[in-house]
Amino acid sequence: MPDGDRFERSLHGRGWRKAYRMACNNEPFTLLGDALMTAVAAALRGPLACASLPLVRDAVCNALQEKALSRQLNFGDRPLADPYKLLADALAQILATDSNALPTQLAAKAAQTVYLEYHLQRPPATSEQVQNRLAELFVEWVVRHQCLARVREPVAEKCGRTAEAQMAYEENLFIHLAGPSRKMLAPVFRSDGASTVRAPRRSTPQRRMTLDELGQGIPVLEV
């Protein structure tokens, strides 16, 4: 069986195989991004539903506030806590009470990165900043876990990219997905994780075939 079929069969869930084929064809980010966000939305409505995202956001905010306090003079009235340990303990508690562990694990990974990106910022990052960045990174982790980690090699090969070029390609892809990710997850954060996830409106209109095109025969590929 061709390698492409083997890699495609490793993708489970609505929309991922379509996104994989588009990536192999080096489709523009506008089209690929729409396909990926549709696949992510389907995953978050199903096996990767993550009602704990608001709790994860609050855990990051609390750790960042603690980090800001730790930079101030301590007069012995309170012991200084380790902000990163505070975050780790909070995430562990959320994981311990979450019946759907995988998406929360992905959210926890995203939360740790958000903390490390913002922990030196003065004044501390706002809740909105944390939420936006957490949304971006959570979607990134979902895409990596459900798709890119499984098909990175064939995508790079079919598009003629080196490993370094493929990693740069993915970073640019996630920059493109940042805005749609924030928009898609905003209702989840507002509703304590209970909102239905819907993919943002497509950035490119869906092309409809004409009657003439539908009437054309399907070309036979020579083997």
Cβ-based neighbours of 129, under 8 Å, separated by 6 or more: 118
Lowest mean pLDDT among 61-65, 71-75, 130-134, 216-220: 216-220
Of residues 37 and 198, more confidently modeled:
37
Q: If we measure between CA atoms, which residue out of 115, 130, 134 comes closest to residue 178?
A: 134
- Looking at every residue in the chain, the average pLDDT score rounds to 87
Lowest mean pLDDT among 10-14, 98-102, 137-141: 98-102
Residue extents of the structural domains in the chain: 3-201
pLDDT at 103 over 80: yes
43 vs 39: CA distance, rounded Å: 6
The confidence band for 214, taking pLDDT boundaries of 50, 70 and 90, is: very low
155 vs 19: CA distance, rounded Å: 11
Cβ-based neighbours of 28, under 8 Å, separated by 6 or more: none
pLDDT at 219 over 50: no
164-185 burial code (b ≥16 CB/10 A, e <16): eebeebbeebbebbbebbbbbb
| pLDDT (average), residues 191-215 | 63
Of residues 207 and 85, more confidently modeled:
85
Of residues 127 and 5, more confidently modeled:
127
pLDDT on residue 190:
86
